[in-house]
Homo-oligomer: A and B are copies of this chain.
Amino acid sequence: MSKTLTPRQREILKFISQHIDQHGFPPTRAELSKHFGFRSPNAAESHLRALDGKGVIQLERGRSRGISLTPLAGAHLPEPPRMELPLVGRVAAGSPVLAQENVEDALRVDPALFRPRPHYLLRVEGMSMRDAGILDGDLLAVHRTPEARDGQIVVARIEDEVTVKRFRRDGHRVQLLAENPDFAPIEVDLRHQALAIEGLGVGVIRHRLDA
């Protein structure tokens, strides 16, 4: 649970981050004060203590420029072009796909490889998409969106179950098609059953080939 920052604290944090980018080291209290127009270095000190208390920075006592950003800071900063994608394994029933408990790892794969840009990788279970070249254990790159068009490969949630299928819609009747003759299509009537599109499959990574 990342505690929320005040708007002012966000500005301070942003400046610290920028200063590190530009100079290679964090600012002093005086430099912070100069930038924000504080007449007292204590204004900066107080902000730093607050940011430290909220866990987004870490202060080292007695050392000049003893400020470092913690991983928590990332959540409050205009995010730098991400180089990692979270890997989601089995999705616990009822939890959001990207809930902490579902995230197994972060893989260093450039999201720019895929279009549209994926938000996470989902480990595929089962062979229902075999003929689309998506096999058991493959990682599906998923772009989060609730919209899907006919023929797209979607990550869908039906009654708390998350599944990967090809999408087809006809009015309030939706078909989720497997790409494997051994699996029957799933038919959903939107008037009677809940169906949520979690996202679109935009790519596949297979990180082991069996002999």
Contact = CB atoms under 8 A, between A and B. Distances in A.
Counting every copy of the chain, the complex holds: 2
Interface of A: 20, 23-26, 28, 58, 60, 64-69, 83, 107-110, 112-115, 130, 132-135, 138, 149-153, 201-209, 211
Give the dominant DSSP class at A's interface: loop
Contacts of A208: 114-115, 202-203
A209 to B, nearest CB: 5
A20 B67 CA distance: 11
Contact of A209 (B25, B68, B153, B211): B153
A134 B205 CA distance: 11
A58 B22 CA distance: 12
A15 B201 CA distance: 45
B209 A202 contact: yes
Contacts of A20: 24-25
Contacts of A107: 110, 113
A136 to B, nearest CB: 10
Given A108-B109, A201-B209, A204-B204, 13 more contacts: A20-B25, A25-B26, A25-B65, A83-B108, A109-B110, A114-B207, A115-B208, A130-B133, A152-B211, A203-B205, A203-B209, A204-B205, A205-B206
